[in-house]
Amino acid sequence: MKIFMMPPNSLILYDLIERFGHEPLSLMKALRDRVTSNEIEAPPLNVTLDDVKLGLKYAGIEVPSGIRGRLAVYGPLIEQAEAAIFMEDAPYSFGCVGCQRTNELAKLLVRKRKVPILSLEYPSNEEEAKDMVYKVKQFLEGLK
């Protein structure tokens, strides 16, 4: 099954989802096509003007263009998602306020799709980590 994850570029979640036999929907894969496209002479590092327009499908015009641009990348992933795993309580160094607001909107869009969701927190000690890995496994096995 295709699993959406939050943060969408998380190493831990990507690895665990793949390890337990599912397909992670990651930001890296979505961006890969953009940064390696031969059709664009100078592949963009960030989103393009078209992306910002595409983002209107997922957020209103009053939402800042940075968030709409990000949602243009996240949106198609959310539409494909058959389940989702959220890891909350990430350190502030994971991104700017724009990233945080995008993540909040993305989580709302996933919740609206009514797919099974597992919400976790970044582990801070061994006990929490054991519990996190166990819950991820139980959740993913339950989806099969």
Partner 1 sequence: MDKDTETRLIFIAPSSDLTPDRIARFVHNLGNEVTAKETCYGVVLQGPREAVLRTLTEVRKMDPNRIFSKIRAFPAGDIRRCRAHHGSRPGFAQLEKEWKDLCLVESGLVCLERGEVPPEPKRRGKLPVKELKKLIDEVPQ
Residues in contact with partner 1 by the rule CB under 8 A: 7, 9-12, 14-16, 18, 26-29, 31-32, 34-36, 38, 45, 90-91, 93-95, 121-134, 137
Nearer to partner 1, 93 or 112 (CB): 93
Shortest distance (Å) from residue 82 CB to partner 1: 19
Nearer to partner 1, 56 or 104 (CB): 104
Nearer to partner 1, 60 or 91 (CB): 91
CB 101 within 8 A of CB 60: no
Shortest distance (Å) from residue 134 CB to partner 1: 5
